[in-house]
């Protein structure tokens, strides 16, 4: 039988589960950077927990929690330049925020407001993708455009382990490598696609090794180690920016919560399994230990950071609630740059019905 263990895919890790690592390797990260990284991750955790509660209170719609995946998202996004494009799925709320998306936008999105699908003009963040894997093609196209125009922007698509079974993923990988476009395929392998565990998703030992077939570099990184993720992503982005083509990164992580607020994970995995990850491999814990060793963390600071995050959440929520409710007539404006004749007719009909008070 083919022995996949021969393939060169050791996991990149700088900080182990207890916050220890090679001192020399850790010296490359400044105190300021470590605090920024940790504060973002802490804030992301608070936001995720609040959003989950708000869904239970009926304040927002269906929500896909990302707790456990903060290091993968924040670590990777902080390695980008503001001009770089990101193509998120519904799971990457933390990545979107750290790349500049205002929290109010997230509230618009989870409250089903039309504004939630529109990124403010100056931000290079694609709308949140629900169709599994589709954004891999959009990112590849965007990166190809940058290459043709001679621009230096890199495109990063975020997707899950389940997305690697979609044709879109393979088409995007193939095209990106043939045309050597500056795109990074960043897979958050959180080990489940709803109820399907990763060993039922693929027979490959790693997702990273799928890169070999397309003639591109693949790297497996500990997705709960924010420093390893940052370093891996920085190298990938620098090389793509220098014209050295695409890369596939597999960040091995774990979704601590349900797939979405409509899911009950106890139906397909043991509570014990999730608890083990929460207790032993929490991405925040190991970074906090490092910060503490450097004298950068105290309980008071933590409390202040959490309080600040909570205030921001309350303010963003209130701003979103105060926004004028959209009308059914508006949604047609945001489908294409120039609306088709059919859409125009539908919009006119919606306007007529609205006048007749048949719709809102």
Query: Is residue 91 flagged as an active site residue?
Result: no
Q: Which residues bind ligand TPP (CB under 6 A)?
A: 91, 130-132, 159-163, 190, 192-194, 255, 259
For residue 351, give the 3-state DSSP assignment. helix
Q: Which stretch binds Mg ion (CB under 5 A): 103-111, 183-191, 272-280, 324-332?
A: 183-191
> Which residue in 261, 285, 258, 278 sits closest to 269, CA to CA?
258
Q: Which of 108, 259, 286, 288 is catalytic?
A: 259
* Under rule CB under 5 A, residue 282 binds Mg ion: no
- Residue among 268, 279, 334, 352 flagged as catalytic: 268
Report which residue's Cβ sits closest to Mg ion.
160
Please identify, using beta-carbon distances, which residue of 153 and 164 lies nearer to Mg ion: 164
Q: How far is CA 51 from CA 91, 127, 154, 194, 261, in A?
A: 13, 19, 30, 19, 10
Q: For 261-287, give the DSSP string.
A: TT--GGGTS-HHHHHHHHHH--HHHHH
CA distance 18 to 126: 36
Q: Which of 240, 331, 302 is nearest to 43 (CA)?
A: 302
Report in angstroms how near the CB of residue 187 gets to Mg ion at its nearest. Answer: 9
Site string for Mg ion, 42-61 (x = CB under 5 A): --------------------
Q: What is the DSSP letter of 89?
A: B
Taking CB under 5 A as the binding criterion, the range among 152-160, 203-211, 263-271, 282-290 that sits at the site for Mg ion is 152-160
Cβ atoms of residues 286 and 217 within 8 Å:
no
CB of 49 to ligand TPP, least distance (A): 18
Applying CB under 5 A, among 69, 76, 190, 224 the residue interacting with Mg ion is: 190
Catalytic residue list contains 259: yes
Confirm whether 113 is a catalytic residue: no
Q: How far is the CB of 131 from ligand TPP (least distance, A)?
A: 5
Distances (CA, A) of 166 to 133, 171, 240, 250: 6, 9, 24, 16
User: Of Mg ion, ligand TPP, none, which one sits near residue 182, judging by CB under 5 to 8 A according to partner kind?
Assistant: none
Of 190 and 347, which has the nearer Cβ to Mg ion? 190
The region of 80-88, 172-180, 186-194, 274-282 touching Mg ion under the rule CB under 5 A is: 186-194
Alpha helices by DSSP H, listed for the chain, are 23-26, 31-56, 70-77, 93-98, 103-110, 134-149, 167-178, 198-201, 210-213, 226-241, 271-280, 283-293, 299-322, 341-355
Beta bridge partners, 252, equal 189, 222
Q: Which stretch binds Mg ion (CB under 5 A): 41-49, 154-162, 287-295, 325-333?
A: 154-162
Angle between helices 226-241 and 70-77 (to 10 degrees): 40
Site for Mg ion contains 160 (CB under 5 A):
yes
| Residue 73 lies near Mg ion (rule: CB under 5 A) | no
Chain contacts with Mg ion (rule: CB under 5 A) = 160-161, 190, 193
> Which positions are annotated as active-site residues?
255, 259, 268
């Amino acid at each position: 039988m083919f022995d996949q263990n021969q393939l060169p895919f050791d996991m990149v890790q700088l900080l182990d589960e207890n916050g220890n690592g090679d001192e020399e390797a850790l010296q490359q990260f400044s105190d300021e950077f470590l605090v920024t990284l940790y504060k973002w991750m802490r804030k992301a955790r608070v936001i995720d927990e609040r959003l989950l509660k708000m869904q239970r209170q009926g304040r927002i719609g269906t929500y896909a929690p990302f707790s456990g995946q903060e290091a993968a998202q924040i670590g990777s996004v902080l390695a980008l330049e503001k001009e770089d494009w990101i193509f998120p799925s519904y799971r990457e709320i933390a990545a979107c925020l750290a790349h500049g998306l205002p929290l109010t936008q997230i509230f618009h999105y989870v409250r089903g407001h039309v504004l939630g699908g529109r990124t403010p003009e100056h931000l290079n963040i694609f709308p949140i993708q629900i169709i599994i894997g589709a954004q891999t093609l959009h990112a590849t196209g965007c990166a190809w455009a940058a290459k043709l125009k001679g621009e230096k922007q890199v495109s990063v698509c975020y997707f899950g382990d389940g997305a690697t079974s979609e044709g879109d993923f393979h088409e995007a990988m193939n095209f990106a490598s043939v045309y050597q476009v500056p795109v990074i395929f960043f897979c958050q392998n959180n080990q489940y696609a709803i109820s399907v565990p990763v060993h039922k998703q693929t027979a490959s030992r790693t997702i990273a090794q799928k890169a070999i077939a397309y003639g591109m570099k693949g790297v497996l990184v500990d997705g709960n180690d924010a420093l390893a993720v940052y370093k891996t992503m920085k190298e990938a982005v620098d090389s793509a920016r220098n014209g050295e083509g695409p890369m596939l990164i597999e960040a091995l992580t774990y979704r601590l919560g349900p797939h979405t607020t409509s899911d009950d994970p106890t139906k397909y995995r043991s509570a014990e399994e999730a608890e083990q990850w929460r207790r032993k491999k929490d991405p925040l814990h190991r970074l906090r230990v490092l910060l503490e060793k450097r004298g950068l963390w105290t309980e008071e600071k933590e409390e202040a950071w959490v309080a600040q995050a909570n205030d921001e959440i309350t303010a963003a929520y209130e701003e979103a609630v105060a926004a004028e409710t959209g009308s059914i007539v508006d949604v047609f404006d945001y489908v294409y740059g120039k609306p088709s004749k059919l859409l125009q007719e539908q919009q006119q009909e919606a306007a007529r019905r609205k006048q007749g008070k048949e719709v809102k």
